Structure 1
Amino acid sequence: MRTVDNVSATLTFAVPAAKVFAVLADPTTHAAIDGTGWVQEVVDPAPLTEVGQIFRMAMHHDDHPDGDYQTFNKVAVFDAPHAIGWLTGYRKDDGGLGFGGWLWRYDLTPLRPSATDVTLTYDWSAVPPSIREYLEFPPFGPDHLANSLQHLAELAQR
């Protein structure tokens, strides 16, 4: 039996795709977009500009061993103004970065000059069994993606 290893949600925004993309490429907006409240603030505020770029976010989760922690995110998709996505990672004991195999991806489909369908996908298909043994996927409730898209729409419409 094969299970689906991703969830997604779509919302139509009353703004152009380029404006939505600009909000997503600005890490300083990510805490306001987050539908879980886990993202606290940006550590690396430089705009996202290319695949391979790393940006850090300060996080909090009551079930995390440290409570407060940082994620190291690696831009995996950058196709302005159509798609942007990143892998979430962590600092390994040897100082290098590790990525667990989950990807946040936004796909933007222009409908008209001032309307865009935005699909947010959380994909954990590349998560190895060793991580699946102690983390449940997805690690958030069913309303998270829709909440995030609503927050993004509000920011983009400002």
Structure 2
Amino acid sequence: MHTVDQEIVSATLTVAVPAAKVFAVLADPTAHSAIDGTGWVQEAVNQAPLTEVGQIFRMAMYHAKHPDGDYQVVNKVQVLDPPRAIGWLTGYDKGDGHLEFGGWIWRYDLAPLGPSETEVTLTYDWSAVPQFRREFIQFPPFGPEHLTNSLHHLAELVAGR
């Protein structure tokens, strides 16, 4: 199930895995390409687990409509509340040592439904994207089904670990 509300899209799925185990997978950047519902995320450039707010981790990406095809995004951990919530802002390296974030955030909220079940909500929020950026990028840049796909990938991944 997914919902679109103004400038936020989210999807929710219940997985038969404890919240701590789900959180551990989400905090592992090397798992993100397997979770991704768009097929754009390639691999983690920074492979260290996400352990603190403000932590930066980079991901190799591919998108046919991106000017370079292959590119990198820089993510900055914005929310880290194990095992309940994790989220990051996405941006890029301007090439001069400065990072710029686009105004959108990916967030997972985990609600334990007992010892071995977790309700996972994935939210993509672009409400803070400035107008000038909206002239070049359509938001959301994917259909809401991609969030549902991501949650199903996550469920498969955590079940197999």
User: TM-score under structure 2 normalisation?
Assistant: 0.95
Q: How big is the shift at 1:141?
A: 1.6
Distance in 2 between residues matched to 1:142 and 1:15, nearest whole Å: 24
Structure 2 counterpart of 1:61: 63
Q: Secondary structure at 1:112's aligned position in 2?
A: coil
Structure 2: which 5+ residue stretches go unaligned? Answer: none
Structure 1 residues not aligned, in runs of 5+? none
Residue number in structure 2 paired with 1:114: 116
Identify which of 2, 20, 29 aligns with 1:27.
29
Matches within 5 A, 1:15-94: 15-94=17-96
Please give the TM-score of this superposition, normalised by the length of structure 1.
0.97
CA distance in 1 between partners of 2:71 and 2:155 (Å): 27
In structure 1, the partner of 2:97 is 95
Count of equivalent residues:
156
Q: Distance in 1 between matches of 2:106 and 2:40?
A: 15
2:49 is matched by which residue type in structure 1? Answer: P
Check whether the contact 2:61–2:72 (CA below 8 A) recurs between aligned residues: yes
CA distance in structure 2 between the partners assigned to 1:95 and 1:79 by the alignment: 29
2:117 is aligned with what amino acid? Answer: A
1:39 and 1:143 map into 2 onto residues whose CA distance is 16
CA RMSD of aligned residues (A): 0.9
